[in-house]
Amino acid sequence: MKIVIVGNGVAGIFTAQNIRALDKEVELDIYSQEKYPYYWRIKTPELIPGKITTKDLIVYKEDWYRNNRIDSYLGKRVVEIKPNLKELIIEGEKEPISYDKLVLALGSIPNIPPSIKNAINMVGKGVFTLRSIDDALFIRDFIKEKGVKSAIIIGGGLLGLELARQIKNCNLDTTVVEFFPRLLPRQLDTECGEMLKAEIEKMGINVILGAVTEEILSNGEVEGIRLKDGRIFKTEIVLIQAGIQPTIDIAKKAGINTNRGIIVNQFLETNMEDIFAVGDCIEYNNQIYGIIPACVEQSKILASYILGKDKIEYGGTTPKNTLKIVGINLTSIGQINLPEEESGAWEILKKADKKDCCYQKIVLKDNKLKGAILFGESKNLSFVSKNIDKEIDKAMMKKLLELYIWRCPSCGWEYDEAEMQVLFKDLADDFKCVGCGGPKDEFIKK
Ligand SMILES: Cc1cc2nc3c(=O)[nH]c(=O)nc-3n(C[C@H](O)[C@H](O)[C@H](O)COP(=O)(O)OP(=O)(O)OC[C@H]3O[C@@H](n4cnc5c(N)ncnc54)[C@H](O)[C@@H]3O)c2cc1C
């Protein structure tokens, strides 16, 4: 049997690796339009200030493919799938490639909001997105060659902030412009968003929130941006990190069901026989994931299923994101805001210590751990990661968070930090016991 994988990112590579672990004989070919062997996509922003080189990003070198008997065809773009003939067409090549089973691991591309006037026609001429090694090298060279002094990053999500940090490392005047009223709108709540903003600003990065970019101003070269409220910010380069679009073009053209992504079932099968899809390019249950844990989880299920071994059903992946900025410790997992339509069984345990810049929020439903934000403190990360969706002991969780009950010795009235969501030490010095009016400094930690 010959399995052909299109895509050499984490989803394609992990699918190949898992297939090979289960079957030593099957023929495995990987095609990729990029010319590099499997590399660490998430570290590409670090290429811009030149802290690392392309070589430092390569995870699996050519010998890995050889040792695993995987034939890799790099710099080869698949332009057409012919499902009836079970063939692929490569750009510029006449001979079709045959397959018995086909895995599409096509990834995604950065989204450029069409509402931003001038953005698309200025791409490469002062407007950039970042997805690949080549994108990063292009941005690095542009900054050097043009002597760029200031940059605006549109998008205050994880990628936008990580990119902003690397741009700041190039000594550029750096500004992040975010559409939502807080940074990391999908991963944080308002309170933690404010704490993060303060930390980002301390790094010398300007942050503008609730800002709708309407136009890239240019006279052939980028001059700045104009917001919907009329404000103008001057800059020489604009980097757009505003979400992703799954790559679906060749699948759609072949008649495979697509929506925002390539539609798959619980076994990562498309609607076409012997064609599967995995990673950023898929849409499962109306959901696009765009994170590595989803690629890894899906690749295991697919490897087993495609070989006719265990039929494990994919049920979605709990989102987990860590901000990779040196000096900032931040992870967000699962559901971090209570769903508005539901109430009742949901509960929050929260410790916000603004002075020490530490915020820990645990979201529970029916005593099960549903989500967490851990900012400025990572000692509970392992516990939270292992226990997501599991029942946990609330008293033990409070202990882990170091949330205490403070008792008034005169009347026995108790201040529970978990319930009040404000630390006892953060209450004003002249706080009085609600029971008897006794002074704050006489309270005893239970
Ligand atoms: C800067 C950055 C930072 C990130 N940080 C994180 C993080 O901290 N945590 C996290 O979980 N995720 C992070 N992500 C997202 C993560 O990188 C993606 O979820 C992951 O790379 C998706 O893997 P994939 O294999 O599905 O797609 P990709 O890695 O995009 O690979 C797609 C592959 O398909 C190939 N391809 C596409 N079309 C064709 C074609 N027609 N013919 C041939 N080949 C084709 C491409 O060449 C490529 O090899 C980050 C992404 C970026 C860009």
| Nearest CA owner, ligand 1 atom 33 | 7
| Nearest CA owner, ligand 1 atom 2 | 42
Residue numbers of the chain with a pLDDT score lower than 50: none
Tokens of 220: 């052939």
Atom of ligand 1 nearest to the CA of 292: 11
- What pLDDT does residue 343 have? 61
Q: In testing the pocket of ligand 1, which one of 288, 292, 296, 323 has its CB within 8 Å of the most ligand atoms?
A: 292
- What pLDDT does residue 341 have? 63
- For 442, residues 6+ apart whose C-beta sits below 8 A from its C-beta are 408, 409, 410
First CA to last CA across the chain, in angstroms?
A: 66
- What pLDDT does residue 182 have? 94
Where in the chain is CATH 2.20.28.10? 405-445
- For 190, residues 6+ apart whose C-beta sits below 8 A from its C-beta are 181, 182
Where in the chain is CATH 3.30.390? 327-401
As to burial, measured by CB atoms within 10 angstroms (0-12 exposed, 13-18 middle, 19+ buried), residue 195 is buried
CATH topology for the 405-445 domain = Rubrerythrin, domain 2 (2.20.28)
- What pLDDT does residue 250 have? 98
| Nearest CA owner, ligand 1 atom 5 | 42
* pLDDT tens string 206-255: 999 999 999 999 999 999 999 999 999 999 999 999 999 999 999 999 99
Domain 327-401, CATH class in plain words: alpha beta
User: 420-428: long-range contacts (C-beta < 8 A, 24 or more apart)?
Assistant: 421/348, 421/350, 421/352, 422/352, 423/351, 423/352, 423/353, 426/353, 426/354, 426/355
120-242 CATH choice from 3.50.50.60, 3.90.180.10, 3.40.1190.20, 1.10.1050.10:
3.50.50.60
Instruction: Specify the amino acid at residue 76.
Output: K
Q: What is the DSSP string of 332-390?
A: EEE--S--TT--SSEEEEEEEETTTTEEEEEEEETTEEEEEEEES--TTHHHHHHHTTS
Q: Which helix (H) or strand (E) element contains residue 142?
A: helix 133-146
Cα-to-centroid distance, 132 and ligand 1 (Å): 8
Provide the greatest CA pair distance for the chain.
89
Which CATH number describes the domain made up of 2-110+245-306? 3.50.50.60
- What pLDDT does residue 417 have? 86
| Ligand 1 neighbours (beta carbon < 6 A) | 6-12, 31-34, 41-42, 44-45, 77-78, 105-108, 130-131, 159, 247, 250, 279-280, 290-293, 295, 324
Asked whether 138 and 128 are in contact (CB, 8 A), the reply is yes
Asked whether 370 and 364 are in contact (CB, 8 A), the reply is yes
CA distance to 34, 184, 344, 361, per residue, from 341 (Å): 44, 22, 10, 20
Distance separating alpha carbons of residues 381 and 333, to the nearest angstrom: 10
Where in the chain is CATH 3.50.50.60? 2-110+245-306, 120-242
Distance separating alpha carbons of residues 380 and 121, to the nearest angstrom: 46
As to burial, measured by CB atoms within 10 angstroms (0-12 exposed, 13-18 middle, 19+ buried), residue 440 is middle
Cα-to-centroid distance, 352 and ligand 1 (Å): 35
Tokens of 70: 């995987």
Atom of ligand 1 nearest to the CA of 321: 9
Give the bridge partners for 81, in sequence order.
Answer: 88
